[in-house]
Structure 1
Amino acid sequence: MAKFTGDTAKKILANEINVQTLLHQHPEYQEEVLRELSIMKGSYDLKRIQAMMNKYTSSAKLAGNLIYKSGFNEKTVNTFLPNIIKARMALHLLEHASIAASAQSPTKNVRFNLWDGMVLQRLLFSKGFERKPVSLGLFNFCWKFVLNKKILMPLVNQKGIYCFYSKALIRELIRLIGDKKCLEIAAGDGTLTRFLNDAHARCKATDDYSWEHYITYPDFVEQADAKAALFKYTPEVVLCSWPVPQNTYEKHVFKTSSVKLYIVIGTRNPAFTGDFGAYNEAEQFTMELNERLSSLILPPSNENAVYIFRRKEH
């Protein structure tokens, strides 16, 4: 069994050692986590996934508190740090399971008919799976003629696509950003940043590349985790679209002194997107669920949400 120092514990608690490195360095913990998760037996049930995520999150918080209170005592570190490592591994795997679950559909293996495929390809994509800003009026007109609406998102989820951006939404985001220095974290294929920069914003796209099996990262998306990117670019505005549930990176946005505005595009359901724990603990920021902007995400859904966090003035 591995022995840990206080310095290693501090790095792991600060998320300075990424999950991929932990998986490589501690295969024995990975095997243990996989055995624990095997009770799911490939059944991607969102409630079960959420319960497992809550279990590992609670375990990690308890272990972290005990380590901090001990002053990083070596015995305490070696007793409880494995719980944190296993929790990070489990949450990483469960995040993937959550995405798989959201992509599950009774229409699995069903393809669009020729009409739906033609309409949606021209409406939503410039080529292949490369998204384009969508005219809201044109979408509203064409959407009513699509026969199999429910299979759109499960099909494109498999390509790392969780929403489409209307031209109206991009205009509103440009208005909010203005001439401020902007950073997108967990940017995926960089679609949002690409749209914003085409409209003359100053936005930098970054991602830790942990979803390479889902997403093809273009060159302009810089490989960097959120904490490192925030430190490097000291942005005034930060964006994140569809942050994974109970992630470990959004909390760093609220700890970055340069950030005045944080915009999250996602859902109202904590099981699907966002670190709502970090949102609720962000005492230096106001939090607004903007209904008008939420209505500009496509396809329309009562679950769509745009959250705007503004730093409080003192």
Structure 2
Amino acid sequence: MQTFNKAVAEQILRNEVDTRTLLSEYPEYKDEVLLEINAISSRGRSNLIQHSLRKYTSSATIAKNKIVKSGFNQTTINTFLPHIIKARFAIYLIEQLQFAVSSETSAGPVRFNLWDGFILQRLLFREKLVRKPVSLILFRVFWKLIINPKILMPLVNKQGIYCFYSKPLIKQLSALIGDRECLEIAAGDGTLTGFLNDNGTPCTATDDYSWAHYISYPAHVVRADAKTALNRYAPKVVICSWPVPGNPYEKHVFHSGSVEMYIVIGTRDPAITGDFDSYYNAKDFDMELNEELSRLILPPSEDNAVYIFTRK
């Protein structure tokens, strides 16, 4: 049970602490509220607002009375103050939802409303547009609450982001790679390599920096085109995420004698990702479309694909 300072409790009861400050100081209660609102949302959006307001207003009123009548007893504060904090969170979130819905318009630039932006930032990013491995369980819960899910990818595509990686996907990719030398080509901002490294799978990210007008390349992404990188590192495993359609670099993977496995994260559509001519002409490799891994790419889509090429 969390312990609260009595003076802080008095300030919260007098509404002297703004909700944004509460959100930053007690994030664990924010996550609880989102889960609770999601449970209520299964009854429909009008019920979401009605039931949520009733639930949290009643809970906060009871909690406040308990604390005041106890003379701000420490145990009572610790037990009931979280109900008041969660009520503040819930009412704030519902206000943002109502504002977002009422302010939607077809005019002007496309952008996230406050509700969607709030959830997606917490769910997909560490900070700003820095991605994080996504909890598949939380994604399935909160994705249903997004008002405009279709605008997510068009907006982040402009920043060189073409998919999000779930935690189970990273774990299974690490298992596939094992302890073999791994190289990522056309790595962009090196997000995938970073996730693999954090998961205990050493991988080297490389890119020719040709997309510098879209992507900010971090220091850990080695500047090298695919052919140069393959010759320099002689990897046993190569990975590439969202290769450019009809690109000139994937063919070098299949001509590299060191490569035992090539993993491609992309789509089933040759117009969107991948050099499918090279895929079909890779006579020394068996090609597999791994449906299980494909389902671990986010957002979910029937077009998502993970291809695994294994040397015969």
Measured in 2, the distance between the counterparts of 1:228 and 1:203 equals 16
Distance in 2, Cα, partners of 1:196 & 1:235: 15
Counterpart residue type for residue 121 of structure 1: Q
Q: SS at the partner of 1:264?
A: strand
Question: How far apart are residue 109 of structure 1 and its match?
Answer: 1.6
The residue correspondences of 1:32-43 to structure 2 (distance < 5 A) are none
1:73 match: none
2:269 corresponds to:
269
- 1:117-141 deviation per Cα after TM superposition (whole angstroms, max 9, x unaligned): 0000000000010000000000000
Q: 1:182 aligned to 2:179? A: no
* 2-structure distance, mates of 1:301, 1:109: 25
Q: State the Cα distance separating 1:107 from its structure 2 match.
A: 8.7
Q: In 2, Cα distance between the equivalents of 1:215 and 1:297?
A: 21
Q: How many equivalent pairs are there?
A: 207
Q: Deviations over 1:167-198 (max 9, x none)?
A: 00000000000000000000000000000000
Q: What pairs up with 1:247-258 in 2 under 5 angstroms? A: 247-258=247-258
Shift of 1:108: 7.6
**3-state SS in 2 of match to 1:256:** coil
Distance (whole Å) between structure 2 residues aligned to residue 285 and residue 243 of structure 1: 19
Structure 1 residues 168 and 108, CA gap change in structure 2 (3 angstroms):
farther
Helix, strand or coil for the counterpart of 2:176? helix
Q: Which residue of 2 aligns with 1:244?
A: 244
1:194-216 deviation digits (Å, cap 9, x = unpaired): 00000111100000000000100
CA deviations on 1:270-309 (whole Å, 9 max, x unpaired) are 0000000000110000000000000000000000000000
Aligned CA distance change for structure 1 residues 116 and 210 (closer, same or farther; 3 Å): same
Q: For the residues of structure 2 that align with 1:284 and 1:150, how far apart are their CA atoms?
A: 39
C-alpha distance in structure 2 between counterparts of 1:163 and 1:278, whole Å: 23
Q: 1:166 to 1:270 in 2, by over 3 A?
A: same
Runs of 4+ in structure 1 off by over 2 angstroms are none
Q: Equivalences for 1:13-52 in 2 at 5 Å?
A: none
1:61-100 counterparts in 2 under 5 A? none
**Cα distance in 2 for residues equivalent to 1:131 and 1:171:** 16
1:193 — aligned with what?
A: 193
Pairing 1:86-165 to 2, within 5 Å after superposition: 109-165=109-165
If the length of structure 1 is used for normalisation, what is the TM-score? 0.65
Q: What's 1:311 paired with? A: 311
| RMSD of Structure 2 on Structure 1 (CA) | 1.0
Q: d(CA) in 2 for partners of 1:107 and 1:245?
A: 32
Q: Give 1 or 2 for the bigger CA radius of gyration.
A: 2
1:48 maps to what in 2?
none
Mark the runs of 5 or more structure 2 residues left unpaired by the alignment.
1-105
* Aligned counterpart, 1:173: 173
Give aligned-pair identity as a percent: 68
